[in-house]
A and B are shown apart, each in its own frame.
Chain A
């Protein structure tokens, strides 16, 4: 990353991250209590904690130009939450694009003054790619939800199927000949 842009992002880090957090929280239903933003206990406000933790660390990862694989756990932490929260797929991963708006609004003047449009384009393309990567994670979460339903049904009915002789496990001793080699 160009050092000018990096300096700017680092200088304004706390404002940028704070606005990014606000933007993400604004996707949740309007809540006068402000729990998501204000409650600091990580166990009593796990969504708020996840959002804060992920935005701070993801911001740093972007500054450090870490690979997407390094960001995977962070993205997973937040997307796993949003994948079960009534959001349309586009909205569930929209939080990444929100950083673009935040940066444009906060750094607009500096970007113009320093003429660092190219760096900004690069930075934004990086975010676009990250969003695509995030969508893979989102799809994985959704697929897993379906798998959980299947697994749960299996757990519930396993004994029944066994009892009705509709299913049987192969006893371990049948593998006693496992050392034998067959020419097939």
Chain B
């Protein structure tokens, strides 16, 4: 029998190095590991909207089939954007690397990867800016923190710009007000010039462009989806609500993210809107054309976002409504609140929104003419216009997640809380440094809520889930309320993984469950068909 020299245990263990290399960030190449990044955009989707350099590729390929002269395209792209957006130029120059933002990003907190520090994420782009647009960078190169643009740099951009949810938590802490989300937006625009987008963004953009909403729901399907909800509402309340579609002359146009039309738990929020509007006798209409409040174009380029957004005012004009009411969505409200007016306004054919029920004039929306539904509902409750029975939500111990964009993009903190506290008896806040303007992102925003990058989402969402776990353990919280369709889609998986036993709900689902409607039958179940507290076993 041949003799083999076996290695000794010490020799074996010494061959394993658990420590990552201590190199400069510029010298560490990106490694594409499965389930940590989204799938590449499909050629057909980019062609649908006329995006440049549509081609087939996958991130794990060595060769990304980049077009000839791609470096020039990117450099010219940077040049064009520097001249167009003063903020971009300012953010490239003004950072002093103070580090205030460094540990504020949920992806950095959840991964420990320094390239997820907002300052380094910005540096990925800034280093190239320095090399081609600053004297110091041109002369001193790496000494001045500059580097050449090559394929590896591009891959690094792609990996980390699609590992930022544009949530803007870091910008809250920056003493110079640098908005790293804007740098991610610029980075994604540059990648988009080369056809390097992701499927979960490019698909919805193409669908929205051709069908009016991200999910590609056609008018008849949208109507029949809502009719299904109407049937369910009738089963539960005994009341048949009668919404109208594309009705000219309605007072209000209602626009909501398409995530509310399909999929759980979004549909329950949608049922909530239907019930509330019916109870108020609101003169409103749905639109099968402006059937999307969200705007994934915002995650590709400024021009695309503007194109997709234009349908909202166009439809309001066509239908001749007075003003627009908007549903629960996150980035939708950053776009509507901060961009819509400049892109596609002025909406001078609309009137300053006035609640037909309370007479409240929404001065905050006098320019955009679009009101957030929690502002609208909070105003109703404040004026005592709704009959509510919060005990129907007594089995719930609720906490509220401030969705990043309504919180940091429009300062919407109090209205959703006021609404939830009015319809639920058990409400508990998460710790102060994880809510309001310091809220932690769900980890799936800005088009990252694909399924294939589940691990990326789980670690990005860990800081949020960790705060939910705290109130779950301390107060027995079992329901996470929010005002965002991406939250409703992404949180169930996040909660199942990190804090099992916590459900996810839109705010208007809670409202509708507590809402006592005129002429309703005695309710025994909530909108999900679950027994109401004290009504168990009643069939």
- Cβ contacts A70-94/B at 8 Å (1 or 0 each): 0000000000110011100001001
Given contacts A43-B466, A152-B492, contact A144 B263 (CB under 8 A): no
**Is B498 a contact partner of A80 (Cβ separation < 8 A)?**
yes
- Tell me the nearest residue of chain A to B465, going by C-beta: A46
One of A7-15, A33-41, A57-65, A127-135 at the interface = A33-41
- Tell me the nearest residue of chain A to B114, going by C-beta: A31
- Cβ contacts B221-241/A at 8 Å (1 or 0 each): 100110010000000000000
**Is A44 a contact partner of B497 (Cβ separation < 8 A)?**
no
**Is B433 a contact partner of A29 (Cβ separation < 8 A)?**
no
When A and B form their complex, what is the total count of cross-chain residue pairs whose Cβ atoms lie within 8 Å? 134
- Cβ contacts A105-131/B at 8 Å (1 or 0 each): 000000000000000000000000000
**Is A29 a contact partner of B497 (Cβ separation < 8 A)?**
no
Chain B residues, CB < 8 A from A43: 431, 433-434, 463, 466-467, 470
Q: Does A156 contact B (CB under 8 A)?
A: yes
Chain A residues, CB < 8 A from B221: 163
The one of B23, B104, B111, B225 that contacts A86, using a Cβ cutoff of 8 Å? B111
Chain A residues, CB < 8 A from B498: 80
**Is A47 a contact partner of B431 (Cβ separation < 8 A)?**
no
Main secondary structure of the interface of A (DSSP, over half): helix
Chain B residues, CB < 8 A from A41: 433
B72-99: which residues lie under 8 A (CB-CB) from chain A? 99
Q: How far is the CA of A41 from the CA of B438 in the complex (A)?
A: 14
Chain B residues, CB < 8 A from A101: 13
Q: Does B15 contact A (CB under 8 A)?
A: no
Q: Does A183 contact B (CB under 8 A)?
A: no
**Is A33 a contact partner of B20 (Cβ separation < 8 A)?**
no
Chain B residues, CB < 8 A from A141: 497
B268 → chain A closest CB, angstroms: 11
The one of A84, A98, A160 that contacts B455, using a Cβ cutoff of 8 Å? A84
Q: Does A139 contact B (CB under 8 A)?
A: no
- Tell me the nearest residue of chain A to B35, going by C-beta: A145
**Is B112 a contact partner of A35 (Cβ separation < 8 A)?**
yes
The one of B36, B225, B539 that contacts A163, using a Cβ cutoff of 8 Å? B225
Chain B residues, CB < 8 A from A69: none
**Is B103 a contact partner of A39 (Cβ separation < 8 A)?**
yes
Q: Does B462 contact A (CB under 8 A)?
A: yes
B269 → chain A closest CB, angstroms: 13
The one of B22, B267, B496 that contacts A159, using a Cβ cutoff of 8 Å? B267
**Is A29 a contact partner of B262 (Cβ separation < 8 A)?**
no
B519 → chain A closest CB, angstroms: 24
Given contacts A46-B109, A156-B489, contact A30 B23 (CB under 8 A): yes
Chain B residues, CB < 8 A from A98: 18
Chain A residues, CB < 8 A from B452: 149
Q: How far is the CA of A27 from the CA of B17 in the complex (A)?
A: 9
**Is B462 a contact partner of A33 (Cβ separation < 8 A)?**
no
- Tell me the nearest residue of chain B to A154, going by C-beta: B264
**Is B228 a contact partner of A163 (Cβ separation < 8 A)?**
yes
Q: How far is the CA of A159 from the CA of B221 in the complex (A)?
A: 11
A18-58: which residues lie under 8 A (CB-CB) from chain B? 23, 26-33, 35-36, 39, 41-47
**Is B114 a contact partner of A30 (Cβ separation < 8 A)?**
yes
**Is B466 a contact partner of A46 (Cβ separation < 8 A)?**
yes
**Is A47 a contact partner of B18 (Cβ separation < 8 A)?**
no
Q: How far is the CA of A81 from the CA of B459 in the complex (A)?
A: 7
**Is A155 a contact partner of B112 (Cβ separation < 8 A)?**
no
Q: Does B354 contact A (CB under 8 A)?
A: no
Given contacts A80-B498, A163-B228, contact A148 B454 (CB under 8 A): yes
A19 → chain B closest CB, angstroms: 14
Q: Does A67 contact B (CB under 8 A)?
A: no
Q: Does A166 contact B (CB under 8 A)?
A: no
Q: Does B458 contact A (CB under 8 A)?
A: yes
Give the B-binding residues of A (Cβ under 8 A): 23, 26-33, 35-36, 39, 41-47, 80-81, 84-86, 91, 94, 98, 101, 141, 144-145, 148-149, 151-153, 155-160, 162-163, 172-173
Besides A31-B112, A36-B112, A45-B109, 9 more A-B contacts (Cβ < 8 Å) are: A33-B102, A41-B433, A44-B433, A86-B36, A149-B451, A152-B489, A159-B228, A159-B261, A163-B225
Cβ contacts A to B, 5 pairs, < 8 Å: A33-B117, A35-B112, A46-B109, A144-B497, A163-B224
